[in-house]
Structure 1
């Protein structure tokens, strides 16, 4: 190979290497950009699917229904009332009850509220947050009757509680008044499934032909069976027969309710699917 050919060969080789390097850098840059774009799309999709008080496309297809849209009290009213209690507020996308310090008596213009539609077989989801030392509850299969001044005299209750500060956590039997429990009957286990005061918790109640499951933050914490001999025996040992002698005969369908127990409590993402 003469000198001129050798110079041309090395010049061509150098140019090819530079072109290859540039192409590789460009390809790597494009791949990184695509990865970032993909991540961004994924994050947006995830954010949209978990936005408070909304249903994802999958939930809509599965038949979920929002019971609270974050802006209005449509569908909600007071227990034994046609009106929505004025002490309950829609605040920052939540159903909020402010503390009255009156305990079970609740607020003067508050009281327990319910969604004005009865459900039998269902899967309910509710996010809740309680104040320090606070107490509240989520009712299901509830009934209205002139004989009873509170919905909890007719309905099972999933307890909402500050387990660290409220005395109810130390009362009852085996922790059956702690957060997530079927109040005064079956304790939530593990009790550690609850998040600390000030943090949101996701409660779920699944009711199907008498089998009832409580879930708290994704963990199953209670399972029981309505109307069975064991159920009637357990109810007989609780405080409920003193309040309603027929309490064990829980209805096959009833109202979803939220409790005013005189403490600050917030609810959001209330949704239900009929089974």
Structure 2
């Protein structure tokens, strides 16, 4: 069984256009879709390694989840940001189809990670970054990672680049993305186009 999920998510920086709270149509509810984000609170979410959401890193602004820029979060003695930059669902999912909307500010770099091992991630001291597959979210034109094909928006980060038919909306405008993961097969979609497809255990994933 594939579990459909829906969330409006993840812009880094300042959001300037209001977004209506997430809702499902009757047809979507009948098809089994469920909301991960209610458009108002972070209920159902927590930080990696936390029981709650690190509010110094994450807020809800105008109906969207916003990552507070790294320069504006508490710092460690060495000047690095305190941990808390990875937000995760409180519930664990198996096979799924996840759809969300996102936009970025100029030069932003973010991502949506899935199939994450929290145990391995927390053992990855001192960074404690979420270890798993990542759907890259990036301002391709302004961020240095945009020069690397497997680091561009929509890529399976550091593994597979998005297809050439990818279309990304300009900075500040909303994109719609989908991840499908079932068994050993995964797909990334962006604005109605499939841009990445892979199968675990194949040579291209070694």
Pairwise same-fold verdict (TM > 0.5): yes
Q: Which has the higher helix share?
A: 1
- Aligned equivalent of 2:205, options 231, 235, 242: 231
**Change over 3 Å in CA distance of 1:95–1:208 after alignment to 2:** same
Say which SS state the counterpart of residue 59 (structure 1) adopts: helix
- Aligned equivalent of 1:84, options 24, 31, 53: 53
- Structure 2: distance between partners of 1:65 and 1:107: 33
- Aligned equivalent of 2:170, options 173, 190, 196: 196
Aligned to 2:139: 162
- Structure 2: distance between partners of 1:196 and 1:106: 30
**1:64 Cα shift?**
0.5
TM-score by length of 2: 0.80
Q: Provide, for residues 70-121 of structure 1, a one-character-per-residue CA deviation record: whole Å limited to 9, x for no partner.
A: 111111000011121112101100111121248xx98547410100111221
- Aligned equivalent of 1:94, options 53, 64, 78: 64
Aligned residue runs from structure 1 range 40-51, under 5 A: none
Say which SS state the counterpart of residue 151 (structure 2) adopts: coil
**Change over 3 Å in CA distance of 1:188–1:203 after alignment to 2:** same
Contact residue 76 and residue 114 of structure 1 kept, 8 A:
yes
Q: Which has the higher strand share?
A: 2
- Structure 2: distance between partners of 1:78 and 1:86: 9
Aligned to 1:72: 41
**Change over 3 Å in CA distance of 1:135–1:106 after alignment to 2:** farther
- Structure 1: distance between partners of 2:166 and 2:205: 25
Runs (5+) with no aligned partner, structure 2: 1-18, 73-78
- Structure 2: distance between partners of 1:139 and 1:84: 17
- Aligned equivalent of 1:206, options 180, 184, 189: 180
Say which SS state the counterpart of residue 115 (structure 2) adopts: strand
Tell me the matched-pair count.
176
Contact residue 179 and residue 191 of structure 1 kept, 8 A:
no
Runs (5+) with no aligned partner, structure 1: 1-49, 233-275
TM-score by length of 1: 0.60
**Change over 3 Å in CA distance of 1:184–1:82 after alignment to 2:** same
Per chain length, whose mean CA-contact separation is higher, i.e. which structure has more relative contact order (CA < 8 Å, sep 6+)? 1
> Hey, which bits of structure 1, 4+ residues long, moved more than 6 A?
none
